[in-house]
Amino acid sequence: MKIKFAPSLMCMDLMRVQEQVSILNERCDLYHVDIMDGHFVKNLSLSVDFVKGLRQITNLPIDCHLMVTNPEQYIDPLIKAGADFISLHSETISGQAFRLFNKIKQADCKCGVVLNPETSLEAVKPYLNYLDLLTFMTVDPGFAGQNFIAETIKSINEAALWKVRNTYSYILAVDGACNKHTFLELADAGTECFIVGSSGLFNLDEDLNIAYDIMMQDFRQSLAAKK
């Protein structure tokens, strides 16, 4: 599988959305949109209305990451807004997981699940066959710029092995501190989609074209260092 890159748009310059999206439309594979409610995480970020506006200026897939206490309240509005993936936190869907997955898939939308760093892969084992996207947080959810939590590598590698062993179809993604210091370790563990934020992309240069070039150079050099 070709490695994918998904800019985390909460880290972009929100005063230059149209300009930056026009650059990213030519370069990245999909967009990652964090939606927070101030309860599940102590932060507020992007919104359903942001997704609706983004859909009007891009044809790329949009992954909506729901860091919210009641994800069921967001599914219908996000489908209507044009989301391609809806990613639910495993910690918020106990007792309703299969019902929510079916609702998402019946709307011809793709289904994702996100795990916090301390959440065991065993917690999502019953429904891995449902998933189109499986995302591991390698930082605590809610805020950009945190330090990488190395203990997550074991779970990422385990999920990659389970995917091969059981012919699951999910894309294995990582969210948090994806940058030149972690690219190699994450790639070796089986990461297929890097969600890049402040340290991996947006803070590399004020010119987003240059920043993207730096990111790709960092990625290639990281992998080349292993040889």
User: What domain count does the chain have?
Assistant: 1
Q: Which helix (H) or strand (E) holds 36?
A: strand 31-36
- List, as one string, the DSSP characters of 44-107: B-B-HHHHHHHHTT--S-EEEEEESS-GGGTHHHHHHHT-SEEEEEGGG-TTTHHHHHHHHHHT
Domain carrying residue 79: 4-224
Q: Which helix (H) or strand (E) holds 28?
A: none
CB count within 10 Å of CB 89 equals: 23
Residues 6+ apart with CB under 8 A from 193: 3, 4, 5, 6, 29, 30, 133, 135, 171, 172, 173, 174
Q: Is the pLDDT of residue 145 over 70?
A: no
Catalytic residue among 34, 63, 84, 132: 34
Annotated active-site residue 207? The verdict is: no
Q: What is the pLDDT of residue 41?
A: 82
Annotated active-site residue 175? The verdict is: yes
Band of the pLDDT at 143, cuts 50, 70, 90? low
pLDDT tens digits, residue range 13-72?
999 999 999 999 999 999 999 999 988 888 888 999 999 999 999 999 999 999 999 999
Q: What is the pLDDT of residue 174?
A: 97
pLDDT tens digits, residue range 152-211?
999 999 999 999 999 999 999 999 999 999 999 999 999 999 999 999 999 999 999 999
Q: Is the pLDDT of residue 141 over 80?
A: no
Do 62 and 83 meet the contact criterion of CB atoms below 8 Å apart? yes
Residues 6+ apart with CB under 8 A from 12: 20, 202
Distance CA(207)–CA(154), nearest Å, equals 35
Q: What is the pLDDT of residue 208?
A: 98
Six-digit token string for 100: 């929510």
CB-side exposure of 7: number of CA atoms within 13 Å? 26
Catalytic residue among 63, 84, 132, 175: 175
Q: Which residue has the tokens 């994800």?
A: 71
CATH of the domain at 41: 3.20.20.70
